[in-house]
Structures are given as C-alpha cells and as structure tokens.
Chain A
C-alpha cells in the first residue's frame, strides 16, 4: 500500500464526518441561497423559485443590510482592539510582580465570561438606565448630564460594545497570561542590563514574544465579534432606530422570524465571505510582519 493511500485511509473517518456535518450543510445552504425558499415553498415545493443571485442583489440594494453591516463593522473595528487591549492590560497587571491578591482578581476578571448573557443583561440595563442607573448617577456627581445609553441611537452601540468587551475580555486575558508566563525571564534581565526601561521592555520583549498569541487572540476575537447577536438581542432588540442591528441579527430575523430561508442563507454567505476576507487579511499582515 502506498504511503499516501494509507494517509487518506487514516484521515477518512474524520473527513467523512466533516463532509457530512459541515460540507453538506454548507453546500445545501449555498443552494438554498439561490432560491426564494419561504413558507409558501414549505407548503408546496412547486412554489419554490430559482432566483439565481437575486437574493444577493436584493440584499445589496436593501438599506437595512448596509445599516446592519455598518453596525457590525463599527462593533468589530472598535470592539476588537478595545477587547484585546483590555485583555492584555488585565493580563499584564495580573502578571506584574508587584500585584497583590492575584487569584482573586484573576477569578473576578474571568467571572463575566462564565455568566449567562441574559441574566447579566438585566443588570446592565439597570446600570445604564437613564433615570435610575448607577452610571448616570455617577456621571451626575461629576456634573455630566444624564445620557440615554440604550435609547439614544448614538450611544446604544457604544454601550453594547462596552457590555461585550466587559463580558469577553477575561477569556483572552487567560490566554495572554499563559503567553506572558512562557516568556523567559532572562530576556527581561538582558534588556534591563542594556538599560531598557519598562516601556521599552514591553515594546521590544513582551510584544514580539506575544506575537503568535496576539494573532490567535485577534483572529478568534474578530471571528466572534463579527457574529454579534446575543448582546443586542437581549439588551436592545436591535433598536433604537436599528442602530444595534447586526448582520447576524438580520439573518436571524429573515430566517427564523420570517421564514425566508433563501434570503437568510444569502446573508449568512455574505457574512462568511466578509469574515474569510478579513481573517485572511489579518494573516497576510501577520506573515509580512514575520509572526506565524
């Protein structure tokens, strides 16, 4: 038996499972996105029309799609760097030699990750309540006027971003912490002997050594943040004025609320293409920088 045949044989079970439970549904969804599958088609397959790229064209002409795409990009562009920076900052604090009560803070920072988004959203809605919220109460002590955090279309997305970052940064923090702990201490020692201050040590030792971890965390966070759904669903239901409606939210409504599965599949594919493009872009950038 040739070595390559044996290799294929060993891989076959896994490949079959992937093909059956991933490849097939993807192909089916692609096929579905070329039709106008809806409840009428559910009643009688004779009502199914092949529309080619009609769903995609329709979406690109739908202002709500562009709006939700804009909202999603806003969320990703502001949220991902903020989330990564927060995680890295928290990890650095926890890793610092002068830190106290580290196990306590590590648990406290990680706690939001394991809480239920629905339960936490209820608390956040009260925190950010215009008239009774703790946040506005604190701001008023500083002489700042009350802000309608979840009701003002300009503030709703920043609030959602804050919520998502707070909810998720603990997870990346743990990954960063592991990365930081694997940086050999002698590198810092050598840097100190060369006269590097704390900032220079961070810039020229910590960051380069964290490169692969940073790349991993960025890709994971970005992929996750593109799929924004639960936070606006529980906090604002996509409002006010559709300012927190994400692409995935649009897909959910098209597919599961209105049963336009053809349209929903098209949304899913457009989001998929967008995510593939950005992730490849990030990988390309990392490779150019020499981080693998």
Chain B
C-alpha cells in the first residue's frame, strides 16, 4: 500500500475525532441555549412576517422597538428576495403555509384578493382611533381597496417621473421644467439639437413597461373597460399617449435600447448620453451615490408632464396585508399599525430612502428639505392605482412588448392599439367567465 495514503487516513481519522467532539460540544451548547431561550419565549405570541428585498433587511432594525412596546408579541421576520417572492407566496397559499403578515407588491393585491387569501382590514382600522386614513395619499390608499373592502395598508410608495440634467437643459435654453407634452417635446428637441446625433434627450428603457404606462395613465380614458372585462386600448387617450411615445423614438429623441444595453444608467446620465430619465424614487439615493461630487448640482427631479399639464400618476409600491389563514390577526394588525406610525415611517425613510405613503412623515426635515423628493411629493397627490384585475401585470408586460414594436417602427399606433386590445381580451377571457359564472350563481 502506498504509505502516503496510510498517513493521510491516519490524519483524517484524527481530524474526524476532533471534529466530532467539537460538533458535540457545539450541539450541547446550542441545546442549553435553546432550553434557556424557549423558556423565555414560550408565552409570547409569534407573528410571522415575510418581507422582501432590501426593505426586508432594514425593517429588522425597527422590530426591537415594536417588541419592547408589545412584550406579549415576538416577530418572526423572514426575508425573501423579490425575484421569487410572488412564486413563494402562491406556493405557500397552495400549501397553507402563508405567514401572518407581509408587504406585497400593490399590483398583487387584486390577485391575492381573487384567491380569497387576504383578510379585510376594515374592522381593525375602525377599531383603531389614531389610525388616520385621510392622511394617506388618496390614490395610494385606494390600491388596497378591492370591491369596497380594504385589504391592504400602504407601506412605501413609488411613482415614476423624469430625473433631468439641469446643466444640459440650461445649455439648451430650457429654464423651467415643462408641464405639458407639447412643452416637453420642444424642450427635448432643443436638447437634441444641442447634444447632436450621438446623444439623446431621454431614456425610455424598452425593457420596462412603466414609462409608457406612466404616460398612458395620465389620459382620462381608463385602460380597461366594463369592470375589467375588456381592454380599452383603442381609446383616443391611449392612442394619444402611444403616439407621443412613438414620436420620441421616431424623432431620435430617445434611443431604441433596453437597460441591458445601457449597462450603467447612472454613469450614462452623468455623461449626458440622455438628459431625461423616467425612473422611480430609489434613484434619488443612487444618483447621490453614483454621480461625482462636482455633478451633484447638475440634476433634479420634476413632475411628469401630462397631455395638458400633469395628470394622474402611477402609484406603485408595497402594502401590508394580513392573510386569511393567519391565526394571529390581532397581533399582525398591531405590527402593521406600528410600522405605519408617522414616526416609524420617517425613521424607515431615513434608513432606506423609500417614500412614505402618508403626508405627515413628509413634514419631517429629512423629507421636507430634500429638493429631489419634492416632485415626488407633488406627484403622489395625483397618484392612481392601476386597474385592479389579477391579469393586470401580464397586460402591462404585453404593453411593454407592443411598445417595443412601436418604438422599432414595426407597428403603427392604430395597429398596436388593436393588438393590445386583442391580447388583453384574450387574457381576460377567464375573468369574464368567472364574473358571468358568479353573476349567474348570485341571481337564482
């Protein structure tokens, strides 16, 4: 036998013995600890709280204070990545292992309400006198309302608006931010003349549906009609918005690109590859961090111009829901209540930069004195929820695909509107069947 093998074996046996000993010791130590900890927590009510993404990490810092105020409750915080959150929630629903409370994407609320997975919160809100509903931005609050019942309480909000380069616009002779599409078009044309063929006036990433949707939602026509039974994309309003969108690409004011091709949106914004960039509030912190100090005075945010002055705006974000399967609904509500308090919300903004969905935290100096947040504050007053049908996300994705076709000049506005309606109607077929079914069952 090869002596080296024997030597190795001897070593590994020794190693294994020490390892086993150590493992035993660790297990013993853990057991003692666990006995100690379980004795302490046995009588506390446990609220399971699933939170996603960065906010899920940060919210852990707010929990100890809640547990101090409510000695009878322990919060079991579990963090999930956003990417798999929707799937995990649906799987948990099917397996009856949902948490007690979770902040979910606003566009998921109608879906989980359709699944009958959510507990209405009307009674809890009515029984909590210091819960100030009118303090919330009306459109943001409305996203949690499905069929007249409150299923969700907003946690943080986002709306999309243009970030712009003040220096480049001043160079192009634009002194005040445009308010209407007409003014905005002229401003962008002026920028384009200034920067030349290699650079652009605006970035509308083709892999996002939000820019087009933000334009479309400003029109008075609803996006779906007949109680969400059919698409309403052939309306004059949607065609007008799509026409404006198409024009930006046709006139080479916007590059025909996705974010993949830009690689680094902050860097390119700093280089002046585009002067306007429609995006959400998280980019305030990003631009502060990514742009060099010398450029920090060269950018600002502005309310999104509308067809004739700013119109309705997108209200995305996340909202707390309590799941129907939960056996700790009262404790879950206490947690929602605590996390919705103006002072908690202000603290949460400090930690994350996320925007509060109610007005009072906006009076704290951190938010009131932030010039970049001002446009968001203004626009949130006009926020409206997207159509409340479970199929909405899919329709919005289809809007992105069609928008890309239009931007590439492969479809005219009329063709695109017709195709959008055709696809939306196909996705809504099951919903129509469900509604008819329910109507028949409801009227014997």
A residues less than 8 Å from B206 (CB atoms): 239-240
Q: Is A42 an interface residue (CB 8 A)?
A: yes
5 other contacts beyond A43-B116, A150-B260, with CB at 8 A cut-off?
A125-B263, A237-B207, A237-B260, A239-B258, A256-B87
Partner of A39, one of B111, B256, B257: B111
Does the CB pair B257–A129 fall under 8 Å?
Answer: no
Which of chain A's residues 145-203 have a Cβ closer than 8 Å to chain B?
148, 150-151, 153
> Are the CB atoms of A39 and B87 closer together than 8 Å?
no
Ranked nearest first, the 5 interchain pairs of A and B with the lowest CB-CB distance are A43-B115, A151-B261, A258-B394, A151-B257, A43-B116
A151 to B257, alpha carbons, bound, how many Å?
Answer: 7
A241 touches B405 (CB 8 A): yes
B80 on interface, CB distance cutoff 8 Å: no
By secondary structure, the A interface counts as: loop
Contact digits for B247-275, partner A, Cβ 8 Å, 1 yes 0 no:
00000000011101101000000000000
Contact in complex: B261, A129 (CB < 8 Å)? yes
The number of chain A residues touching the other chain, given as a range, is 20 to 34
Contact present for A43 and B114 (CB under 8 Å): yes
Could you say which of A36, A240, A242 contacts B258, with CB atoms under 8 Å apart?
A: A240
In the complex, per-residue mask of A117-150: 1 if CB is within 8 Å of any chain B CB, else 0:
0000000011001101000000000000000101
Which residues from chain A contact B434 at a C-beta distance below 8 Å? Answer: 40, 47
In the complex, whether B136 has a CB less than 8 A from a CB of chain A is no
Complex Cα spacing A256 to B394, Å: 12
Question: For residue B257, which residues in chain A have a CB less than 8 angstroms away from its CB?
Answer: 151
Q: How far, in whole Å, are A153 and B256 apart by their CA atoms in the complex?
A: 12
Measured in the bound complex, the distance between the Cα atoms of B104 and A60 in whole Å is: 35
Among the listed A36, A47, A129, A151, which residue makes an inter-chain contact with B256, where contact means beta carbons less than 8 Å apart? Answer: A151
List residues of chain A with CB within 8 A of the CB of B263. Answer: 125-126, 129, 132
**Does B22 belong to the interface (CB within 8 Å)?**
no
Q: How far is the CA of A36 from the CA of B427 in the complex (A)?
A: 12
B404-A36 in contact (CB<8A): no
A235 CB contacts on chain B under 8 angstroms: 260
CA distance A38 to B90 in the complex (A): 11
Q: Which residues of B contact A (CB under 8 A)?
A: 87, 90, 93-94, 111, 114-117, 206-207, 256-258, 260-261, 263, 390, 394, 401, 404-405, 408, 410, 430-431, 433-434
B437 vs chain A, min Cβ distance (A) = 8
A236 part of interface (Cβ distance < 8 Å): yes
State whether B115 touches A42 (Cβ < 8 A): yes
Give min CB distance, A152 to chain B, whole Å. 9
Whole-angstrom CA separation of A126 from B267 in the bound complex: 14
User: Is A259 an interface residue when CB atoms closer than 8 A count as contact?
Assistant: yes
Contact A39 B115 (CB under 8 A): yes
A39-B404 contact in complex given A151-B257, A239-B207, C-beta closer than 8 Å = no
* Bound: A36/B434 CA distance, A: 13
**Complex Cα spacing A151 to B262, Å:** 10
Residues of B within 8 A of A38 (CB): 430
Which of A150, A237, A241 lies in contact with B408, CB distance below 8 A? A241
Given A239-B207, A256-B87, residue A40 in contact with residue B258 (CB < 8 A): no
In angstroms, Cα B90 to Cα A43, docked, is: 10
Q: Across the interface, do A40 and B114 meet the contact criterion of CB distance under 8 Å?
A: yes
How far, in angstroms, from A240 to B259 measured CA to CA in the complex? 11
Q: What are the interface flags for A222-260 relative to B under an 8 Å C-beta threshold, 1 for contact and 0 otherwise? A: 000000000000011101111000000000000010110
In the complex the two chains form, what is the Cα distance from A160 to B430 in whole Å?
36
Contacts of A43 in B (CB 8 A): 114-117
| Smallest beta-carbon distance B134→chain A, Å | 33
20 residue pairs of the A-B complex, CB under 8 angstroms, read A36-B430, A39-B111, A39-B114, A39-B390, A40-B430, A42-B90, A42-B93, A42-B94, A125-B260, A129-B263, A151-B256, A151-B260, A151-B261, A153-B408, A235-B260, A237-B207, A237-B258, A240-B258, A240-B404, A241-B404
